[in-house]
Amino acid sequence: PSWLKLNENEWPSENFHTSDIELPEGRVAALVSGIEAKPQYDIFNRFSKFSRLIRVVAFCHRFTKNCKIKGIKMLHVNNKDSVKVQPLTIEELEQSRIALVRLVQ
């Protein structure tokens, strides 16, 4: 209102009548629920370095891939034969990193 710009003694004086009726106190009920999120995959707590975790997952992916291929070919390795483990490729490491990121999300 425009009279707020005036001095306080120039404000309009009106008598306000308040009723003696007591209004009941209104309360609103609120339901609060909390859920503690437990880590779904414990694999992240087993390794102290993320790079080591990536390498382990890459070797696991390679192992499952080789098992599928060898299962199709019915390849049996004798105990005398030595299996050479090749170093992990950059593509395998990157695929493992992406798989871990997707797992967390």
Q: Give the model's pLDDT for residue 87.
A: 93
Q: Could you read off the pLDDT of 26-42 as tens digits, one per residue?
A: 888 888 877 776 666 77
Answer yes or no: are the C-beta atoms of 48 and 54 closer than 8 Å. Answer: no
Please indicate, yes or no, if residue 93 is contained in any of the structural domains: yes
Please indicate, yes or no, if residue 6 is contained in any of the structural domains: no
Please indicate, yes or no, if residue 98 is contained in any of the structural domains: yes
Specify the number of domains making up the chain.
Answer: 1
The C-alpha atoms of residue 75 and residue 81 are separated, in whole angstroms, by 12
Write out the residue range of the structural domain in which residue 66 sits.
50-73+88-104
Please indicate, yes or no, if residue 56 is contained in any of the structural domains: yes
Q: Could you read off the pLDDT of 49-103 as tens digits, one per residue?
A: 999 999 999 999 998 888 887 665 555 555 555 567 889 999 999 999 999 999 8
Neighbours of 54 (CB within 10 A): 21
Q: Please enumerate in sequence order all residues whose Cβ is within 8 A of that of 56, keeping only pairs 6 or more positions apart, or say none.
A: 47
Please indicate, yes or no, if residue 12 is contained in any of the structural domains: no
Answer yes or no: are the C-beta atoms of 54 and 94 closer than 8 Å. Answer: no
Answer yes or no: are the C-beta atoms of 58 and 88 closer than 8 Å. Answer: yes
Please indicate, yes or no, if residue 62 is contained in any of the structural domains: yes
For the chain, give the number of residues: 105
The C-alpha atoms of residue 65 and residue 59 are separated, in whole angstroms, by 10
